[in-house]
A and B are shown apart, each in its own frame.
Chain A
């Protein structure tokens, strides 16, 4: 009769401490790997942290990496909450970036108060549509989103190449630079830390995280998304159209990815480059490490931002190949997945559950 129920506090502690322990375990294994390859892990980690946090510029660079990863992680999470696996964040991100770059580079005679929002909305819409397509395909034809999003990634790359190569007569693109024309000052994201390249993309990302949390956990729309994600049968039973939710969740996912692309185009580079940055794939890991919870994804994105930003310093100062950062990222993903899996197996739960003295 009496099933032992963990108190709520314990569950929260488990969800918070579990991933932290997983990350520490991954760093430990990483250290062992460095030892075996004849390198000094302590020096390497010191250099990594220096590169990520030592000084305004270092912090700015870390946050510059963090912003698109955070938005991408959120994009992954919202689809995942509806039980969809969005592998197309990269494509949605670059399509959003292209839209932002084109609108931002167009001389519309608008003041910043209008031009910048217009460019952001264009990116969100373009990414949203690019995300909604696989959502609709899944909902109405059953075509699996993992396949269609990957296909749409390649379509996105080709579309951007075509736009930049061939549409120079009509659109503000520069085929020499393989990019859009420079974004006009009226559409640039403002710098938020003086003397650095840190743009307002990080602010947009954090606001989006809080907004998505509110949407998922406080609004009835989010309740519907989560119901569809956990039980299509219960959704049918309670009159929730899972098809509609599939389309909308993927649209929101694409929208967030599109904003990530806009941050790069309107903030960091001041134009959209045709070469895909790859953030869309790291974002999957960010979402998973953050357990697909919008607030938890903030530290997860920061972690990956630190690893990216510190990688070069690690190579320069400690002579450890920056590639080791990729190994560390892989280890973090493995460790978090292992902790999550262990949590489901009763015999292992005690091992995976941190003991609390309270």
Chain B
């Protein structure tokens, strides 16, 4: 049995909704995910849980929700000590969780999804009654959603509302949201903030997991920062600054404002004209009249995921042959050529998927450096791999780009995400390209690694390379780009210089609406 300890009342006698004291969780293999985390969440507040990827945020919440059992520590919900043995018990105690990847069934209607798990024991389901109750609940919290719509037909932001609705339907008074803004447009984020504030006014408590500093200021009352499995501090949001939070999160001072001078665009090195990729039934995945990249300039591509980004990248990198149009690299028509021809003409490409594209995880680092280079001196000669030379190059670029690994012979799998990404960037820049495609270059990386990657991208621009940055993180695109294009439905619906357009206007375009609607 765990020793009992008494819950403490918060200052001003506001009771705590959730208290987690000295939580320790070790996973098999010796990974310590939580190493004495303490979290106190008051009733009726929006409490942000801030930390880098792998800091232990999700593990902590999974412990609270009964998915994992803590090795040590005490948990109180509304002042009563608990140790849930599963999500069912957590839900019964008034907790609700909105996962990053929704736990919903696309083929079910909204109502069916909402009542899933609390449909009762009745043999025949009273759909009309259920539908009416869902409608009432949605109305009460101004969660605009049609109870009879099929879930798979709804946009992501609405699907998330269904998750929230389900938690409310189950009687949750404490709502845990795990990185809820990851897949939303700026407008959908605003809507979500509105919903959360209404829940708060109604006396609900919200735990908001994030690694984005901007969101802390926008939505939370208090914030607890965790780093490497321990709590490093709790602050009132009004009394802290992003700089302080970033330092707490990373453990050192962070220059998170991307610092760059104005670009000096030069000649055009890559041009795409009338690029078309056909889909089914006359639908076009991609339909772009004109796109061009200039030396010394970063072109940012923004848009909500699934609006033609991957097709654009595949066409511009030579992986896919477009159904129409031409791609010109340094004045040569390379349409339909092999990706290696694109490389030979000075293109480098940081792919969006480190694990399935950018690396072969079971290859040693030096063989990963061979990817895309296996036809060129000094890596190979006469069909033979120059192992010594490749190892030496690998060791060199590992030093230059601060890839932390014991040596070039360990497999890529053993590296952290940040170090894997650094290795890819090092490999792609080693060829001294004219064009760099950087696709979601910081996805899943922690703040320190993001800073490094951004620095490298700007350095490449300053050396006169033409850079394309595609990211679903609008802030990242805005921070890095000299010029912006917005993709919607496979088309370019906006083309701006940096600073010419506000976040709100961009958000409208990304959502498929004209600015002056």
Q: In the complex, which residues 332-346 of chain A have their Cβ closer than 8 Å to any Cβ of chain B?
A: 346
Task: Count A/B pairs, Cβ under 8 Å.
Answer: 80
Q: Are B383 and A227 in contact (CB under 8 A)?
A: no
Q: In the complex, which residues 209-247 of chain A have their Cβ closer than 8 Å to any Cβ of chain B?
A: 218-221, 223-224, 226-227, 230-231, 233-234, 236-239, 241
Interface flag for B392 (CB, 8 Å): no
Segment at the A interface, from B154-162, B297-305, B370-378:
B370-378
Return chain B residues, CB-CB under 8 Å to A219. Answer: 383-385
> Chain B: which residue is nearest A7 at the CB level?
B406
Segment at the A interface, from B278-286, B359-367, B508-516:
B359-367
Tell me the bound Cα distance from A192 to B425 in angstroms.
55
Instruction: Point out the residue from B340, B357, B375, B384 that lies within 8 Å of A234, measured CB to CB.
Output: B357
| Main DSSP-derived SS at the A contact region | helix
> Chain B: which residue is nearest A8 at the CB level?
B409
Interface flag for B211 (CB, 8 Å): no
Return chain A residues, CB-CB under 8 Å to B351. Answer: 237
Tell me the bound Cα distance from A207 to B356 in angstroms.
35
A237-B319 contact given A5-B406, A218-B385, A224-B374, CB 8 Å threshold: yes
Smallest CB separation, A229 vs chain B (Å): 9
Interface flag for B117 (CB, 8 Å): no
Q: Are B353 and A233 in contact (CB under 8 A)?
A: yes
Tell me the bound Cα distance from A236 to B319 in angstroms.
7
Hey, what's the 0/1 contact readout for B369-410 against A, CB within 8 Å counting as 1? Answer: 011101100001001110100000000000000001010011
Interface flag for A111 (CB, 8 Å): no
Tell me the bound Cα distance from A5 to B361 in angstroms.
15
> Chain A: which residue is nearest B319 at the CB level?
A236
> Chain A: which residue is nearest B342 at the CB level?
A239
Q: Are A230 and B410 in contact (CB under 8 A)?
A: no
Interface flag for B236 (CB, 8 Å): no
> Chain B: which residue is nearest A237 at the CB level?
B357
Return chain A residues, CB-CB under 8 Å to B374. Answer: 220, 223-224, 238
Instruction: Point out the residue from A220, A230, A233 that lies within 8 Å of B357, measured CB to CB.
Output: A233
Interface flag for A1 (CB, 8 Å): yes
Interface flag for A3 (CB, 8 Å): yes
> Chain A: which residue is nearest B27 at the CB level?
A346
Instruction: Point out the residue from B370, B404, B414 that lies within 8 Å of A223, measured CB to CB.
Output: B370
Return chain A residues, CB-CB under 8 Å to B28. Answer: 346-347
Tell me the bound Cα distance from A104 to B387 in angstroms.
42
Q: Are B357 and A239 in contact (CB under 8 A)?
A: no
Smallest CB separation, A214 vs chain B (Å): 9
Interface flag for B349 (CB, 8 Å): yes
Tell me the bound Cα distance from A223 to B343 in angstroms.
18
Instruction: Point out the residue from A4, A223, A234 that lies within 8 Å of B358, measured CB to CB.
Output: A234
Tell me the bound Cα distance from A237 to B357 in angstroms.
6
Q: Are A239 and B409 in contact (CB under 8 A)?
A: no
Q: Are B358 and A237 in contact (CB under 8 A)?
A: yes
User: B-side interface residues toward A, CB under 8 Å?
Assistant: 28-30, 318-319, 338-343, 349, 351, 353, 356-363, 367, 370-372, 374-375, 380, 383-385, 387, 404, 406, 409-410, 414, 416
Q: Can you give 10 contacting A-B residue pairs, CB < 8 Å? A: A5-B410, A220-B385, A223-B367, A231-B361, A234-B357, A234-B358, A234-B359, A238-B374, A239-B341, A346-B29
